[in-house]
Structure formats: structure tokens, C-alpha cells
């Protein structure tokens, strides 16, 4: 549910939009390179609004078969990326993660999405 409230700061009015939603969807999939699962890749679900990356992004490390699971995903539109050797990468910086987004896959979670979304396509693993 969205509700807009009007508040004033000094003599200038501001509009504040607050969205409250439970992130109950889990996204499952595979990170692959050349058709094979990649172990240890950093998998990041990046919100389309990069200003919300701190609160909406989700991360996991791919397992030995390339599988991953991202929990508590809120409704929204995202790009999903997988990056090799990226655990020291400043992924929360929009300028850093931005270079990986064009090769990511698009994911949309709605408030009507099932509790578990299984991706049809593998997430391509990119080099750092």
C-alpha cells in the first residue's frame, strides 16, 4: 500500500512517499558460464532504483552446482547478476555494480508472486 504525506521543512513543503511491504518471495536459480554451473560466484539482485540498493538488494554465493537462493525479496523490478571473484567488490556502489547490469537478467516480483520463484534462464557469470 502506498500513502503520500505532506510535511514541511522550514518554509518549503516536501512530499514523502513511504512503501511498506513484506518481502516474502524467494528466488532460486543457477549461475552458469559456458553452460556449466559456477561455484562461488557472487549473485546479486539489484533493484532498478539504485538509490534503494541498500535496502532492496539481495546476495548469495552460488553452490558447487551453480545454484543459489535469494530470500525475502520485496516486490519490484530488478537485474540479477553473477560475478566471479567479486567478494571484495564494492557491489553496493551504483557506479561499480552498474557495469555488470547490462549482462544481467531482468526479474520482476509482484505482490502476487508465489513464495518461491524458480528462474527459467540461468544467470550468466561475468568476470570481475
pTM over 0.75: yes
Secondary structure letter of residue 51 according to DSSP: G
Enumerate domains of the chain plus CATH numbers. 21-126 (2.60.40.1120)
29: its cell numbers: 536459480
What span, in angstroms and rounded, lies between the C-alpha atoms of 117 and 109? 9
> Using 50, 70 and 90 to split pLDDT, how confident is the model at 100?
very high
14: its cell numbers: 516536501
Residues 6 or more apart whose Cβ sits within 8 Å of residue 35: none
What count of Cα atoms within 13 Å lies in the side-chain half-sphere of residue 3? 5
pLDDT digits (tens, 9 = 90+) for 3-20: 445 555 677 766 666 555
**Pairing outcome for strands 76-83 and 105-109:** antiparallel
Amino acid at each position: 500500500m502506498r500513502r503520500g504525506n505532506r510535511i514541511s521543512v522550514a518554509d518549503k513543503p516536501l512530499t514523502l512517499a513511504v512503501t511498506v511491504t513484506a518481502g516474502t518471495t524467494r528466488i532460486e536459480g543457477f549461475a552458469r558460464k559456458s553452460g556449466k554451473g559456477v561455484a562461488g560466484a557472487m549473485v546479486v539482485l539489484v533493484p532498478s532504483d539504485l538509490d534503494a540498493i541498500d535496502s532492496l538488494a539481495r546476495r548469495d554465493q552460488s553452490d558447487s552446482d551453480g545454484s543459489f537462493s535469494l530470500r525475502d525479496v520485496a516486490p519490484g523490478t530488478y537485474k540479477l547478476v553473477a560475478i566471479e571473484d567479486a567478494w571484495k567488490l564494492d557491489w553496493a556502489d551504483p557506479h561499480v555494480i552498474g557495469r555488470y547490469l547490462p549482462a544481467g537478467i531482468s526479474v520482476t516480483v509482484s505482490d502476487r508472486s508465489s513464495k518461491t520463484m524458480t528462474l527459467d534462464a540461468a544467470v550468466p557469470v561475468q568476470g570481475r
